[in-house]
Structure 1
Amino acid sequence: MFVEDTISTIATAPGEGAIGIIRISGSLAIKIAETLFRGIKGKNIEQIASQQVAYGHIIDPNNGQVVDEVLLLIMYGPKSYTREDVVEIHCHGGPVPIKKILALTLEYGARLSEPGEFTKRAFLNGRLDLSQAEAVMDIIRAKTDASLRMAVGHLSGALSDQIRKMRYEILRMIANLEATIDFPEEDIEVLAAQDVRAAVDLLLVDINHLLSTKETGRILREGLETVILGKPNVGKSSLLNALLKEKRAIVTDIPGTTRDIIEEFVNISGVPLKVVDTAGIRETSDIIEQMGVEKAKEFVVTADLILLLLDASLPLSSEDREVLKMLSGKKAIILVNKTDLPVLLNLDEVYTYIADTKVLKISVMEGIGLAELEQMIVNMVYDGGVAQKEGAFITNLRQANLLEQARHHLEATIATIDEGMPSDCIVIDLKESWDKLGEITGDTLGEDIIDQIFTQFCIGK
């Protein structure tokens, strides 16, 4: 499905840099390169082999002036990212030359690409399926090695292969049942239905296993939103600095130093944490600090994990009690800080506010308990049921919803068989499940949904 028009855009990040890349894809890509590029030794485009780099200049045909010194890379389709003819112009990364070269490519036949259009063409031309295309953006946005490893696995087909095996198995079931429709002997139909029921049970095991990865996959893709909570001067900013291993937040003995929200990504053994350091929870007449406290309470509602700090050197205060009440129904770890000082905190009173919440004694100042905290977070993310190096994860809501719908139709298939319904009724739910699984890879997805997915991509990819 080759698209007729030719697209061009700047493929490198905005701003100044050593190198800027203009990427062109489509039927006119080579012709545009012939018009604009002049090799240093007179080498023309026909003499440049595919996947090889040529050195020369971009010339403005309007006046014959040199725009910039460049390297030119040609990739003839179908052996390219989009399976079309692709040209990359590597120039100096200043905004003036790169924008000038882009303007020339548009003047001589290309149009400006839409977000994600290069990857969309790779999908439409059969280079990638939809789950692999989504993995491209996951690679770009990866925050840790584990996030990258998961995305690269998906790009290589780790998820696609599992989905295709499931669809093949469903198709086999449909074929067996439709054969009984053509030869409607009752004994044959009953045996075929029982064989399908056993196969569906096995398929549901695989689907449930994939669905069990959706929370871990989402966290590896987006980060675990983690809120550091507690009263003023309990060590929240010190904990953020310790996790980051740098002095990001201001630390003083003056209560209320942190008034605004500080957000940073932290790599905890491959798990990306989006750590939010909040204002201390307390009653205050300071309007700015009040706003910070309200923001802290808002983050508690949406957080994946709350790290609540308590001061081991002081009895439980009214501020501590207020924050403890906020943990109801939330995933949290209570950190009893400053254990290097004489302990006055009554832990028995703390336990009256919590049920199964984990408690860990630490000293941020002395570095005590921080390694245990990191391991505790990793264990919570993987939950003991998902191997850290496993290739296939469900990484977004679209995939999870489709997999859940596929499961629903398979469960309906079992119900239909158990009710003794004829083969053509069983086939209806199997086909629905087959379609939903196909939407994950894009095999059975409508054009409007495809367009919506690719608008989330960055320009130039």
Structure 2
Amino acid sequence: MPAETDTIAAISTPPGEGGIAVIRISGPQALEAADRVFRGRRPLADVPSHTVHYGFVVDPETGERADEVLATVMRAPRSFTREDVVEISCHGGLIAVRKVLELILQHGGARLAEPGEFTKRAFLNGRIDLSQAEAVIDLIRAKSDEAHRLAMQQATGALSAKIRSLRERLVGLMAHIEVNIDYPEHDVEEVTNRLIRDACGSAIEEIDRLLKTASQGKILREGITTAIVGRPNVGKSSLLNALARENRAIVTDIPGTTRDVIEEYVNLGGIPLRLLDTAGIRETADAVEKIGVERSLHALREADLILLVIPHDEPMHEEDRRLLAELAERPAIVVVNKVDLPGRLEADELARLAGD
């Protein structure tokens, strides 16, 4: 039985200018909804599944053509949602795709889909399980080749298969125990404490392995939040621009140029980094800069990794020492900047404070 009884429609491609946009219609009345606005050689209700048809989307009241389109028909249950689905490929841009969707909603009897509702229906109708549903958004948001590979494995059921196998083993163990209790006279293998201990131990090891891959997957999915911190004018924004390979942050010789946290994603060796360029940390009477410093300290506390920038052309400041002490127990990398200038930084003191 379908999980929903109404028919939904939405634009499935990103907004903006482009050659093609796709509008998806799904539900028990999807073919009828499309036929009310689609004009081709044959009504879509009469065509076979998984076929593509050329035609126009027209306003049924005025006969005015909204766009020249291709309509793809996928009948239940051989569709993503396991419902009747029609995908209308029209010209991209703002106006054409909006007009086509409006005609479908106004004359086709469909309602606008909620965010993620097509995937929700696929889950409720048994097309995908929960882990596969979660993988759909991971696949869309993948920021590296490795993140895409893992999301694709999960979307095609790799994780589900491991969980299903684990569950079957545990259910089998429970059944074995119950048979021994309820039918001791039957000729079945005796359940011993060692057998139970070994089976449960093996299951726990498998669960631990899955949990470890979950933390690795979180890093690939969301990236490592990396805060670039340090005193004002030590080159934090220059480091961000160098890693991002573009002038993402303003760089000047004036201390306190950065007043807010600037965010940028970069990909290093297949690992996405969410870089946060923070305001220089120092005592200040400037109200705006003080807010920036507070946000810097918050970013420092929340970061998975910290890049502490210390300039090569200045002696160690008290603020440098305080930050080094605060980061002693945190995952942090000390970045010595401005090495092209005459050195005044005491390397021995830095090594001692950094624990290296």
1:56 paired to 2:55: yes
Letter in structure 1 aligned against 2:37: L
Write out per-residue CA displacement over residues 158-217 of structure 1, whole angstroms, 9 at most, x where no aligned residue.
2111111100110110110110121247x9896344312211111111111121223221
Gaps of 5+ in 2: none
Q: Is the contact made by 2:13 and 2:22 (CA closer than 8 Å) also made in structure 1?
A: yes
Shift of 1:37: 1.0
Q: CA deviation at 1:19?
A: 2.6
Secondary structure of the corresponding residue to residue 67 of structure 2:
strand
Structure 2 match to 1:294? 294
Across the aligned residues of Structure 1 and Structure 2, the Cα RMSD in angstroms comes to 2.3
Distance 1:97 1:247 in 2: 36
How far is 1:110 from its partner?
Answer: 1.6
The AA in structure 1 aligned to 2:19 is A
Corresponding residue of 2:319: 319
Task: Letter of the 1:183 partner, please give it.
Answer: Y
The residue aligned with 2:236 is 236
SS at match of 1:239: helix
2:80 paired with 1:85: no
Aligned to 1:364: none
Rounded to whole Å, the distance in 2 between the matches of 1:102 and 1:228 is 45
CA contact (8 A) 1:180 1:192 kept: no
Give the partner amino acid of 1:123.
F
1:118 is aligned with what amino acid? F
Quick one: distance in 2 between partners of 1:150 and 1:27?
A: 34
Aligned to 1:374: none
Q: Is the 8 Å Cα contact of residues 314 and 343 (structure 1) preserved in structure 2?
A: yes
Inter-partner Cα distance in structure 1 for 2:352 and 2:189: 61
| Counterpart-to-counterpart distance in 2, 1:77 and 1:188 | 46
Equivalent pair of 1:313/1:341 in contact (CA under 8 Å) = yes
**CA–CA distance in 2 between the matches of 1:8 and 1:328?**
54
* 1:277 matched to 2:289: no
Shifted more, 153-162 versus 300-309: the winner is 153-162
Structure with a larger share of its residues in helix = 1
Q: Deviations over 1:331-381 (max 9, x none)?
A: 1111122334443322332344444xxx6xxxxxxxxxxxxxxxxxxxxxx
Structure with the bigger RCO (C-alpha within 8 Å, sep 6+) is: 1
For 2:184 and 2:353, how far apart are their aligned partners in 1? Answer: 65
Would the aligned equivalents of 2:306 and 2:331 in 1 still touch at CA under 8 Å?
yes
> What residue in structure 2 maps to residue 23 of structure 1?
24
* Residues 12-411 of structure 1: pairs in structure 2 closer than 5 A: 12-39=13-40, 42-45=41-44, 48-107=47-106, 108-184=108-184, 191-355=191-355
What amino acid maps onto 1:320 in structure 2? D
Whole-angstrom distance in 2 between the partners of 1:16 and 1:339: 46
- Conserved? CA contact 1:260–1:278, under 8 Å: yes
Equivalent residues, number = 354
Identify the residue that residue 445 of structure 1 maps to in structure 2.
none
1:48-102 C-alpha deviation (Å, 9 max, x unpaired): 4433322211122122221221111111122111111100112223433323322
Unaligned 5+ segments in structure 1 are: 360-461
Partner AA of 2:317 in structure 1: S
**Do 2:180 and 2:190's aligned partners in 1 also have CA atoms closer than 8 Å?**
no
Equivalent position SS for 2:205: helix
Contact 1:177 1:192 in 2 (8 A): no
Local SS of the residue matching 1:279: coil
Provide the TM-score with structure 1 as the length reference.
0.72
- Is 1:8 paired with 2:9? yes
Kept after mapping to 2: 8 A contact 1:136/1:155: yes
CA distance in 1, matches of 2:163, 2:5: 31
Question: Quick check: 245-254 or 91-100, which moved more?
Answer: 91-100
Identity of aligned residues (%): 52
